[in-house]
Each structure stands twice: as structure tokens, then as C-alpha cells.
Amino acid sequence: MDAAGVVVGASKIARDITRRKRAEQIQATLFQFTDRLFRAESINDVYEAALEAIVRALGCDQASILMFDHTGDMKFVAWRGLSDDYRQAVEGHSPWTRETRFPQPILIDDLEHSELDASLKATVKAEGISALAFIPLIGRAGLIGKFMAYYSEPHAFGESEVDLAVTIARQLGFSLQRIWADEAKELLVNETMHRIKNTLATVQAIAGQTLRKTLGREAFLARLHALGETHDPLTMQNWDQAPLRDVIGRALKPFESSQQQRITVDGPSVGVPAKTSLMLTMCLHELATNAAKYGGLSNSSGQVHIGWELLGNGVDRKVKLVWQETGGPPVSVPRRKGFGSLLIEQSFIGYGETSLEFRPDCLFTSR
């Protein structure tokens, strides 16, 4: 302004606040991401929160999350803006395996100048992708998967941007571990409750059959011991199934010390579902007890052979198990059915078949 107060010029100062606004946006995105992960109640909630954070924080056009499946392949579990054809074409491709230690982010600034396989590059290009980033997801046991960020134009990845991607990946990995742990805990509690219920029902049946006799105390205790042995191979391996060989070994353990070399076990490696292993142990215990009292283990020359084979494939696959006694006293069909016979006949109703064969020439077979 001049002496008279008239404006004769102006001074202007401009500041570029793009970075500051971008930093504020990233900070807000990370806060929202952390909050959503904290409130997530399912795996899908975690995936959706992560995809939203990846797109907003990294400014990419498309995004995806892939996890290792039981075969060791990377499979898409969540995505944004990717076609079915593209996912089917690239699924299984990964720069890492489950055993890869300390994987680092892989960045492709410009697809045209990348070293990707020609056919894979063509597939990616056809999806409209010009730049992409592979960000590893790490869990407690190591690499569990990756997330991908895709750009429609060539993109120069800055150091701060890579650090941001790794931060998102770290939070995503931790959250997945938490959800998996909660689901495993719930499954364990449900399985334990189911197992206790089945065990109590079995104990009730044992007591009802055994204590009808005035001298049933020892038999009752032996059956309870066999029932307890059932749970060891399940808890030492997993709660879903137990190795059949271990189930048989546990059931026959009380008889092995006095009957060495007279019991043979033969069959392929196979797992038995938890419910089946419970009833099978009880059936084997009854067969072994009967053999020790009246059958192949009641004299000095008899033998017991337990063998099994796999029949069918897929959902129709079954196990055929045969208990066979030879060399014992002459065999005759019992006049009445005891607890063991009733247990064997009724245990597998609905999903299995049982048969008993009594032959006079010292041969007894149960299938």
C-alpha cells in the first residue's frame, strides 16, 4: 500500500500440503484398520478390513489376499476388482513356498520390463495391471500367505510405501492368528463337551451291564481303564482322530506283558475318527478279555491276530478290521450274549457292519 493507503502490489505464499494430507489420510486409515481388526469376529471381517486398508493406504486399484492351503499352494481367499478368469489363471503361482524363511516384499514397478514368465506376464497384462507388489504375511510358525497390490499404471514404490505395506501385513498376520486361535479354542471346547457326554453315556452303559453281576467290580474297573486309554492317542495327536495302530496298542496293553509273541498286529497306516476310536477300544478290550479267559490267550499255545485293510476310495472309503483267534480251546456259540457281544454288535450300527464267527476247530473271528 502506498502512503495514501492504496493497494499497489501483493505478496503471495503457497505451500504444497499434499504430503501432509496424505500422511493424515494414511494415519486415519491405519487407525480404522486397527479398530476393525480389534472388533473382527470372523476371518471374513479381517479380510474385508485388510482389503480396505490396502486400497486406501497404498492407493492401488485392485488388491487380493492369498493363503497357503493344506496342499501348500497359495489360494485366493479375498480380493477387490479381480476377474474370475484372472484368479483361476494365476492361482498357485507364488515366489515363495511355505518353508521360505525371511521372505521380503517383491515389487514390480513396470510389468513391461519385468522378468515374469511370458505367459504369466500376458495374463497379468490382460487384467489391466501394469505394476504390482507381493507382500508376505508372517504368522507365529512362519510364512502363511501374502497380499497383493495392483496398479493400472507403472508405479514407483517408495521406501515409506513399502514400510506401510509391511505394517499392514504384520497387523493382518497377527489378527489372523488371533481369529484362528479363538476358533481352535471354541472347537476344542465343543469337542471336549461332546467327548465328555459320550464318555459318560458309555460309562453308564458299562455300569448297567457289568454291575448286574455280584462279582463285576474288577471287570467294571478294567473297562473304565480301557475307556481312559482311548483319550491318550487323541490328545497326543489331535482331537479329531487317532492312529488305528495306537488305538489297538492301547486296548491290548494290559494283555501284552503276559502274552508276548502271541498277539500280532498288521495293517496300513490309517486314522480313526474320535467317536469310532472310543467304541473300538472298548470292543477290543472285550475281545482281549474274552480271549484271556476262554479263547486264544487262555492256554499256552493259542494266538490272536488283528489285521485291517482299506476298502473303497474317497467318501466311500472304509476300514475292514478282523480279530482272529487260533489254537485256543474248542469254540462253540455261546448260549447267551454277554456285554462284549452286545457292545460289538451295537457299537457301529448306522456306519459299519459287524460279524462274529464261531468255529469248533479252535477258530474265532470277529469283523
Residue range 266-278, pLDDT digits in tens: 999 888 777 777 7
- List the beta bridge partners of residue 142: 139
**Residue range(s) of every CATH 3.30.565.10 domain in the chain:** 211-366
Locate cell 480279530: which residue?
Answer: 323
Short-list 147, 150, 154, 153, CA closest to 82: 150
Say whether domain 211-366 belongs to CATH 3.30.565.10: yes
Q: Report the mean per-residue pLDDT for the chain.
A: 82
| Angle in degrees, 0-180, between the axes of helices 339-347 and 274-293, rounded to the nearest 10 | 150
pLDDT at 327: 87
- List, for residues 195-217, the tens digit of each pLDDT value: 666 665 666 666 666 555 544 56
CA separation (Å) from 248 to 136, 142, 239, 254?
44, 36, 17, 11
pLDDT at 301: 82
C-beta separation of 129 from 152 below 8 A = yes
How far, in whole angstroms, is CA 57 from its chain's centroid?
33
Count the Cβ atoms, other than its own, within 10 Å of residue 197. 10
pLDDT over 70 (residue 113): yes
Q: How confident is the model at residue 63 (pLDDT cuts 50, 70, 90)?
A: very high
- List, for residues 159-186, the tens digit of each pLDDT value: 989 999 999 999 998 888 888 776 666 6
pLDDT over 80 (residue 305): yes
pLDDT over 80 (residue 224): no
Average pLDDT over every residue of 76-84: 95
Average pLDDT over every residue of 230-243: 58
pLDDT over 70 (residue 227): no
CATH class, domain 18-182, is alpha beta
How far apart are the C-alpha atoms of 291 and 289, rounded to whole Å? 5
Average pLDDT over every residue of 213-233: 58
**Residue range(s) of every CATH 3.30.450.40 domain in the chain:** 18-182
- List, for residues 5-37, the tens digit of each pLDDT value: 999 999 999 988 888 888 888 888 888 888 888
Alpha-helix runs per DSSP H in the chain: 18-39, 43-58, 84-90, 118-126, 159-210, 217-237, 244-256, 274-293, 339-347
Which helix (H) or strand (E) element contains residue 81? none
**High-pLDDT (> 70) share of the chain, %:** 79
| Angle in degrees, 0-180, between the axes of helices 217-237 and 244-256, rounded to the nearest 10 | 140
CA dihedral of residues 137, 168, 34, 185 (deg, nearest 10) = 0
Q: How confident is the model at residue 131 (pLDDT cuts 50, 70, 90)?
A: very high
pLDDT at 308: 93
pLDDT over 60 (residue 93): yes
Sign of torsion over alpha carbons 7, 11, 15, 16: positive
Average pLDDT over every residue of 306-331: 86
